[in-house]
Structures are given as C-alpha cells and as structure tokens.
Chain A
Amino acid sequence: MASTRQHRRGLASEAAISHKNSTTSSNISTNVADSPLTRHVTYSGVWHPPTTAPTDTVIATAYRFPMMIPERFVAYSASHLHLPLRRDILHRAIVYEGDKTRQGTASSKHRTELAGSGRKIRPQKGMGMARLGDRKSPMLKGGGVAHGPHPRDFSTDLPRKVYDLAWRTALSYRFRRGQLVLVDGKAELWSAQGAFVRNVFSTNGWGRAAGRSLVITMEKRPNLFSGLQAAPRMGEAYTWNDVDVKDLLSMGRLIIEKEALDKILKRHQSDLTKTYKIVTTTP
C-alpha cells in the first residue's frame, strides 16, 4: 500500500511560493505528515528547502494568460498532482460518468398500456387460421411491444473515494506530461474575435494540431468563451463545475485557472481528508 501512503501524505499541503511574498516574508507553511496525526514540518519565511527538498510536493508554474508570462511557482502536494497513473481507476470513473449521464428516456408501450378493446379477434378454433387474442397482441401490426425499453436510471455506483482519486489521477497524468497549464488570475482574452483566439492558441501550440485545449475557469469569461465558440477547432472552455474526469482526459492539454484547480482539488480529496485529520500547529 505504498501508493496509498503517499496519497495520505501531504494532504492539504499546498503552499504558494510567490516571489513577491517571499521577500516580504509572509509565513508560508507546508504541512507534511508521514503518518496520520503525527509529524508536522513548517517552513516559515522565505521558502528555502535546498538541503532537504520535500519529495511530496511538486512545483507548478502559474502564468499570466494569454501572454504566458511566468508569474510564480506554486507548490502542490504530490497526492494532488503527482499521483501514479492508474488506468483502471480512470476507466471506472469514466464508465461511472457515462452511466450517470445516460438519459434513459427510451420508452415503448406494452400491450397492457395500449388503448383498445380486449375482445378476441376471432374464435379460438374452427376458422382454419392461427389462434389470436386481442388487437393489442405484440405479433400484430399496431400491437404492443413485448420487451421494449422503458425509462430507467442507468447510473451505477462508484465509491466516492475511488472517484476522487480518479480526478486527481487525471490531473496528475496531465501534470506529469507537462499538459497542465496553470493560469494565475483570470484566463480571459482581450478580444472575442475568432481570428484572435486562433492566433493565441496556435502561437502557443494549443490548437488543433496539438490536440486542442480545454480551458477551465472559475466563472464564465465572456471573451474566452465566445471566442472559442467562434474558433471551435482550437478547443473548448468550461467553468470548473462543468467538467468531469472524461473532459480532463479528452483533449491535448488543460489550461486551468489556479483558483479553479484549487476548487477541484478541494472537492475531490475525500480519500485524503477522511483518513487524516488536520491538526493546527502550535509553537
């Protein structure tokens, strides 16, 4: 259960390392726990771990969009953005989502649901023809459907912890491949023109040739959203609560606002939070 241990570690241990903050020595703390309810390590002041760099955090660069100017480093827990790839868990999550989103409204009428008389069409015997009941018989034209579809719920179950792990596994997969672009602030464009969006995306190598891009924002960004509708070959944009695991894996890369990523991670860490209790450090 090495991997599970790793997941439990470093829960909620995200520390923002800002070049602006670091000089003003605002306390940036990283809480690391080797086992549940035990050790806490706090770095305060300037984030300076040259001797023992923690292996349970990873550094992500936050960029200013769309110029892609690096703004700062942000540290995320390895259990958030550096999980090993688990295809089986991703598969289960995608099947779960697929089942859940099935409409399930196909409907047909059984003979009992049809309007009509139950009178026997012809006598049972003596006509030299096949036996028949009423007009609603499934073997007659205009009759009912014997085993037809009826509205139902196709959704299947998946343990919450597995689903949450799948979310973070999908994000980790993107991060490990360098396909997670973190945006500092708002991922908004200056113009909603399709030509401009195409220019931005193709200049950065985010367009169709590179598998398109999924932009995830906190709120609807008018120019970005309508711009990508004008240039659908470049990618798609959604707010953070409109995406699922399949979306995270479906395109060439994720361009995600930091705030949106934090929201997603916070919502999908039940397997971490349930097994570990955060204890506030006392001096």
Chain B
Amino acid sequence: MRRIPRAACVRPAHHLSLRPASRSHAVPFSSTGRCRKDDTDREQPAEADRKEWPLSERIRSRIWGVPLGQAPGREDPYDPNSPMRRQGAAEESGEKRKWLWRTGKKEGEEEEVTELERAEDVSETPEYQEAKTWDGLAWVGGEAFVEAMKPSPKYRKYGPATQLQETDDIHEALHRAVVEVLILREEGEDLVKACHAPITPELNWASSVAVQPSEDGESVTLEYHEPMARTYILELMKSNNESQSAADAEGKEGGVEDQEVGAEDQRAAAEEEQLAAENEQPTADEEHVTVEEEQVASEEEQQVTTTPGKASNAFEGYRHSNWMAVPLSDMELKFAVIKRAMQLTGIHVSDPAINDINTVGNLATAMITPPPPKKLAQHLAQSEELAELPNVRVFGRRVTPIDKEKRIGRWKIIEEELRRLDLPVTGHR
C-alpha cells in the first residue's frame, strides 16, 4: 500500500498564518471558513509589533497559526481587563447557573424565557404557545424535591433564648424562683405552677419580697415590701395556667403529626396571648383582693394595666437576707425551684449536681460555676498558683523553635535568609 507522508497531508503552519485580519477581536471557535485560499494573502506583522502583544496572545496566535488578535476562543483569562476577571462575574455566572437549574432551562433558552416572564400576562404575548407535550418543560416534584422544599420546623430550648451570664442576673432569677415556689406552697398549690408564669424580668414582682429562713431551716418567712406583689405573682401564674397547659397539649399532639408548625411555635403564640391577657388580668380578678389591699390596688391599678409588670422596685430582695440558706431537702420543693430556675436562666443543672444540692446556695453555686475547661492549657491558665510563679508561663500549644526566635525578634532575619538561599522556611526539603 502506498503511504502518503504525514507532512504532505497536513497544511504547513505558515500557510495558515497568512490569513487576513477579517475580525478585530477574539471570536468563538468555529471549524468552518478558516482556511480559505483568499485568506492567505496577509502580511505577518513586524517583529517589533509582535512584541507589543502579550505573550499569551502571541503563543495563541502561534498555536492556531493565525495573525495576532485573530486566535479563536476566549481571550486571555489572566488579563486584568478580561471580562472573566471582572468583579461579580463569577457571582453572576453562579446566579445564572442556579436560575437555569431552578427553571430547568438550557443555556440558550434563557433570554427568550426571561422576556416571556417579564410580560404581565404570558398568554397575551404573541410568542406564547401553550405546551401540548411535556418535552422541554421543567420537572418539579419527586420525593427528594418535596423534602428539600419543606420548611424546617423551628426549635427553641426550654428557657430564655440566651443563657444568663451575670452572677447578679442568676441570683435574681434564682430568688424569683424561690419566692414564687414558696408562695405556691403557702397557697397549697402545685409547686410547678411557678413555671406557668412568664419569664420576662419586667414581670419579676418577686424581687420586692425578702425571704428569711429560720435558724433551724424548718420554716421560711416572706416579707413583702410591695403590698400587691403576692397577688400579682399569683395572678401571673393563673393567667398563664390555662393557655400554658393548652400549649403543652398542642405541643404533644402537633409534635409528631404536624411537621410544618412545631410545638414551640404554638407555645410562643400562646405565650404572646398570655402576655396580652396579663394586661387585663390584675383588674379582672379583684374579688381575691382584700378590702385593705383594694385601696392600694386602686392606686396601682393604672400602672399595672398600662405597664404589664415590674413595679418601681427600690427594694431588691435578692440582695438582702440570707435567702440562699433556704433548704431544698424537700424533693417536691427542690424540683420546682430547679425547674423554674432552669426556665428563668437557661442554665442546665446536671443530675450529679442536683444530688449534691441541699440549699438554694448550693443551687446558685452549681449555676454560676462555669463548666470545666476542655483543654489542659485552659485549666492551667486559670491556676493562680502557676500565675504567681515568675519562671512559669502557660501556652496554648507547644512552643516551637520558631516561637522562641520570634520572641527575641530574630525570626524575620532567619526567614529572609532562608528565602534568599531558596531553602524551605518550615519543614524539610
């Protein structure tokens, strides 16, 4: 068989390079009309002119065998003026991809469809044609699609959105829990009803109550520095009582079945209702108020109805007396106080800590004590004994030779020298 030499069947590069400059900018690649005979009568630019072009463009023109500026394909993507480097170009293309994915359109269809969508009524546009088949239409549906489109139900932990951090705040909340639970005990009510009252600090009427345990811890005396405090505290619990239990019940029922609205949403909605109801409650239930208190109440009435809470508290009960000595040996009392305190502070008290708690003071300590540090270095950094020693310092990580050099200011010079000698700055070659 006769063999044709390879060089003979391929057109030499210099033939290709003699095409006229028919286009002044980079064009998309097309395999047609590129090597026509009349394209070949063009002069090569002078060498000096070539040098004005960037290297990448020169190489591209060589590769394609075309005059400078005629190379097909994209422009140099590394050029600072390249549209690919323009700020926001990447985001735009990303957005476009997303849009194409969402609508299920292909790349070319984009312009046309966007115009159609802009029209107020699509069916009125002259280009509109009703689809007779599903070919080319976007697919929506399927289990995975439905799953992805479902809104995730909200979740909020028991208690406030953020944990209390300040010791004073925690003491105040704890004092409030103790007062509320003790009042309920005096009333002979279920002690956990304390948790039916709202947790907002503005409604903390308990701060006007001083708690005074007896020496032997057998009894506790409550001193009211605000005559209506007891009534208000009880009212707040009662006003929340029904709606709270309703919210709880809804939470249990809707919990598993209703996936769109979590129990917490319903609970939050119920709480809002409660807060709204609180504005009216103190005036509505005046039958419980004794005759002597009514005179005081009439003065306070206006304030309570307008502002649903906090009295003008000059007295802050948690700063007075030794209320922290109140014993928590009664399990029912202990549970109610801890539950209410966890609700008010958002601080979780662990079971081993609960077993060690005998007084309110123990509970306060358990709540205020921060969790132990997770790293040894953090633990050592807290040690006062080590901090006092002049020759001991604690670091968060291993002290490397580089750290030592940095400390005496020699590292910059070492690094510079290493770079100059083309040696690795860190690690080995």
Contacts and interface: CB of A to CB of B under 8 A. Distances in A.
A47 B330 CA distance: 8
B309 interface: no
B157 A68 contact: yes
A231 to B, nearest CB: 12
Nearest to A69: B158
Nearest to A194: B152
Interface stretch (A145-153, A199-207, A235-243, A263-271): A199-207
Contacts of B254: 190
Q: How large is the interface on A (under 10, 10 to 19, 20 to 34, 35 or more residues)?
A: 35 or more
A67 B332 contact: no
Interface string A52-72: 010000111100001111101
A118 interface: no
Contacts of A59: 331, 351, 354-355
A233 to B, nearest CB: 17
A141 interface: no
Interface in B334-354: 334-336, 338-339, 342, 348, 350-354
Contact of B331 (A17, A66, A188, A196): A17
A37 interface: no
Contacts of A175: 351-352
Contact of A193 (B150, B192, B348, B353): B150
B153 A191 contact: yes
Given A176-B352, A193-B150, A195-B152, A67 B157 contact: yes
Nearest to B254: A190
A22 B336 CA distance: 13
Interface in A8-57: 17, 19-20, 22-23, 46-50, 53
A208 to B, nearest CB: 14
A68 to B, nearest CB: 5
Interface in A178-198: 178, 180, 182, 188, 190-191, 193, 195-196
A200 B263 CA distance: 13
Given A59-B351, A180-B351, A223-B256, A190 B332 contact: no
Contact of B352 (A20, A177, A203): A177
Interface in A211-261: 223
Contacts of B327: 50
Contacts of B331: 17, 22, 47-49, 59, 73
A50 B256 contact: no
Contact of A70 (B155, B332, B339): B339
Contacts of B335: 17, 19, 70, 72-73
A60 to B, nearest CB: 5
Contacts of A58: 351, 355
Given A59-B354, A175-B352, A199 B155 contact: yes
A47 B332 CA distance: 8
A17 to B, nearest CB: 5
A19 B194 CA distance: 13
A204 B157 contact: yes
B365 interface: no
B330 A50 contact: yes
B259 interface: yes
Contact of B155 (A66, A178, A182): A66
Nearest to A188: B256
A72 B254 CA distance: 23
A190 B158 contact: no
B263 A191 contact: no
B198 to A, nearest CB: 15
B259 A191 contact: yes
B355 A190 contact: no
Contact of A196 (B152, B329, B334, B350): B152
Contacts of B155: 66, 196, 199-200, 203
Contacts of B259: 190-191
Interface of B: 147, 150, 152-153, 155-158, 190-192, 251, 254-256, 258-259, 262-264, 327, 329-332, 334-336, 338-339, 342, 348, 350-355
16 contacts: A17-B332, A19-B190, A19-B191, A19-B192, A19-B336, A23-B190, A47-B331, A50-B330, A58-B355, A69-B339, A70-B335, A73-B354, A190-B258, A191-B262, A195-B152, A196-B152
Nearest 8 CB-CB pairings of A with B? A178-B350, A50-B329, A195-B152, A70-B339, A69-B158, A191-B259, A190-B255, A199-B155
Given A73-B335, A180-B351, A188-B256, 5 more contacts: A22-B331, A61-B354, A66-B155, A68-B158, A178-B350
